[in-house]
Chain A
């Protein structure tokens, strides 16, 4: 399919059009914190300030807190109600390539073996409209994970900023359908495509932070028992959990109940391997020490997830680097992993 384009000033109208059919979500600022909110009309001001959101779009598909089902107590027994319905048809506008990849990574867990009905329903009913990154952060390292800041791989429709216009490409059937319904797009010219290619190259070049993501697996496996190393790299961590809560590929959750009089519900909520209670059993706790917990965070992403699903569970979005209160830096950990030969010598 040949590419289309849409004028920058028409984006708001496009969102208005889509809102008639979909619940449309866009980047938005809530007391200065960039997250996702329902498009409320007006002008698409986010196009000017949006680099990436603090709260990743996983929160739309896998909310920080969600009701799994409700129940009613009735004598010695219960009536278990159906889970609350999820949005019928909805659209996320402006998702970055790293975060779109993250949703695909999450899906691997949620559809492996037993199906997770909540995540999968939202994924099925959702349409992803990607927006290429032109201003990556200093902390971004997506290109080390095989993602380009303008990658169209995991979205339905992809937009690339070419100045007064956006180049628009339909990636999936869902994306084609979206395009077929609007009159706001027009055919792109060869010059537009050339400009898009330039923009893509420039964006890729702006991601300067690098890690050896492929080499990490072997080094992590070899260095698993290297307590000194893990103690050293986790020394300043305060176990706040930010690097996992706001990581677009972290999916750990807790399950808890609430009951008021006879009416109750079961909820799930984000949990974090950074917390000591996370693995606490009545007597034992295999990850009482902080270095074991941060080791889990890093090894899960770069060693265990690839072992299960052949893909690294990190997209290089850089959130854990930008948002950590004590400047813990996963790329520094990865690049300071002792090489295997070095470990052998030390032994």
Chain B
């Protein structure tokens, strides 16, 4: 593994102190579920707003100064770039502080860091998106990216599951993809309720029922580790090779740039070498450290 090359990274990232957060202002807050909100924000600095670029799959660190900093994937698409979006589940001190902020509040932004979904590899292929819960966030950036360049890709299947109907994120997107005739959208829940008319069943099980063909296909799987552990074998059964399965990994992170040491799985550092990996790259480690 060579030293990390950042020469192709945007200029604003290569200059100055990489640990200093850029001030950004929350412009809109969308309530996704009881514990998840999507924050729309923009940089305060005019120049940065114009210079800023990122790719689907990359992540950032958001700060509430005085409380701390944490990593989040950018859940909006680079094809829709009048603002940035992060979807955040309330799970700890920092996310609680973020959830307490309102429109107009200032947050700190570092990034974008990490690699991204390999668009060149995906172009011309059939794409099977498999998402669970908040795991739809990184997929959503890619899905809109692909839909906005629809003619460059083959068939699109989206299989999305959550625990209950109330846990489904991005209902507005799910609806749009449902309406889109060029997309096969399947939504499922582990447990339905009276109002739920859709599918009931765990994602890996539904996946086997929907049976997407592995021919010229790539499956992109994002969700909680437990879902990932069961989805890869299900895809393998369907005939997908390890190279045809992509995922983004989640680890506790602090620096986001390969310095603080905590995000490794074996010799792979999720922040430095990921977060996007093919199953082929991680299969030897994933069983024991993820």
A308/B18 in contact, CB under 8 A: no
Interface SS majority for chain B: loop
**Contact of A252 (CB < 8 Å), options: B19, B108, B262:** B262
Q: Whose C-beta in chain B lies nearest to the C-beta of A263?
A: B66
Interface SS majority for chain A: mixed
Query: Which residues of chain A have C-beta atoms less than 8 A from B266's C-beta?
Result: 224, 299, 304
* A residues 99-119 touching B (CB-CB < 8 Å): 109-110, 112-117
B5/A308 in contact, CB under 8 A: no
A117/B18 in contact, CB under 8 A: yes
A283/B224 in contact, CB under 8 A: yes
Query: Which residues of chain B have C-beta atoms less than 8 A from A309's C-beta?
Result: 3
Shortest distance in angstroms between A124's beta carbon and chain B's nearest beta carbon?
15
Give Cα A296 to B1, complex, Å: 19
Query: Which residues of chain A have C-beta atoms less than 8 A from B261's C-beta?
Result: 109, 251-253, 271, 273, 300
State whether the Cβ of B125 lies closer than 8 Å to any Cβ in chain A: no
State whether the Cβ of B118 lies closer than 8 Å to any Cβ in chain A: no
Q: Whose C-beta in chain B lies nearest to the C-beta of A283?
A: B224
A281/B250 in contact, CB under 8 A: yes
B225/A80 in contact, CB under 8 A: no
State whether the Cβ of A282 lies closer than 8 Å to any Cβ in chain B: yes
B262/A300 in contact, CB under 8 A: no
Q: Whose C-beta in chain B lies nearest to the C-beta of A251?
A: B261
State whether the Cβ of B255 lies closer than 8 Å to any Cβ in chain A: yes
* B residues 1-51 touching A (CB-CB < 8 Å): 1, 3-6, 13-14, 17-21, 23, 25, 44
State whether the Cβ of A50 lies closer than 8 Å to any Cβ in chain B: no
B260/A252 in contact, CB under 8 A: yes
Give Cα A110 to B18, complex, Å: 12
Give Cα A296 to B25, complex, Å: 39
Query: Which residues of chain A have C-beta atoms less than 8 A from B272's C-beta?
Result: 112-113
A307/B68 in contact, CB under 8 A: no
B267/A308 in contact, CB under 8 A: yes
State whether the Cβ of B69 lies closer than 8 Å to any Cβ in chain A: yes
A304/B267 in contact, CB under 8 A: yes
Q: Whose C-beta in chain B lies nearest to the C-beta of A74?
A: B106
**Contact of A109 (CB < 8 Å), options: B44, B224, B258:** B258
* A residues 258-298 touching B (CB-CB < 8 Å): 258-259, 264, 266, 268, 271, 273, 278-284, 286-287, 292, 296
Q: List 10 A-B contacts (CB under 8 A).
A: A68-B19, A69-B17, A69-B20, A114-B13, A225-B288, A252-B262, A255-B260, A282-B92, A296-B264, A308-B3
5 other contacts beyond A112-B3, A259-B65, with CB at 8 A cut-off?
A69-B20, A73-B66, A253-B254, A281-B251, A303-B267
